[in-house]
Amino acid sequence: MDTIPKHDVSDYIVRLTRVPEHASLDPFETLLKILKDKALLGGTGYIMEKRTAICFTESTLVALDKVFRSDQAQFRYKPFGIMIAKFLAFGWDALPVIYQPKADYELLHESKKHLHVTYQLNSSDNADFTWEREWRMARYKLELDPLLVHVLVPSQEMKTAVEARLSPQENPPERPWRFIVLDELITAAASY
């Protein structure tokens, strides 16, 4: 079956790192830990009943770059992360979240409750996170294969810094991490 091209969503999902007030390490150190451990860990933040999930966005890198550049002080994520092809993530049970009123949470099957994201516009508790275009994977840990994922960094300078902090065992020449440098990608996209 052919799919209609979508220019506002990506064929990849991205796990971004957070700013320090939401995490114990800064975004750079968090990325290094992910690469050294070769794993993404799930969390319970913003998930009903503290269910564990690994969260991603399907926003395009161009769209994310605009958010990063618009008002970084207000955005809790930074341009460091792990990109996974959507078809692979889907095979690992990742799915788009379900944006719905909080009252509808109980209507979900138990196996899908981790996908609930409260969406309410007509109350004093307005909640609209649809701009995140979130996907979730109900698991505590996802082992990473460097050949199946890409590492997102904001600049060539940060790519060099990350590589300098990884040992040969953490970034072996025969199976190296593959990087996407956001600044270079955005510059190339602007030339089209």
- What is the tens place of the pLDDT at every residue in 97-115? 999 988 999 999 999 999 9
At residue 47, what are phi and psi to the nearest 5 degrees?
-115, 130
* Mean per-residue pLDDT, 48-63: 90
pTM value?
A: 0.89
Beta bridge partners of residue 40, listed in sequence order: 142
CB 180 within 8 A of CB 61: yes
Distance CA 134, CA 157 (A): 29
What is the rounded distance in angstroms from the CA atom of residue 18 to the CA atom of residue 20?
6
The region that residue 24 occupies, defined by phi over 0 for left and psi between -120 and 50 for alpha, beta otherwise, is: alpha
Write down the pLDDT at residue 24.
67
pLDDT of residue 37: 95
Beta carbons within 10 angstroms of residue 25's beta carbon: 13
Which of the two residues, 100 and 190, has the higher pLDDT score?
A: 100
Q: How far apart are the first and last CA of the chain?
A: 29
pLDDT at 74: 63
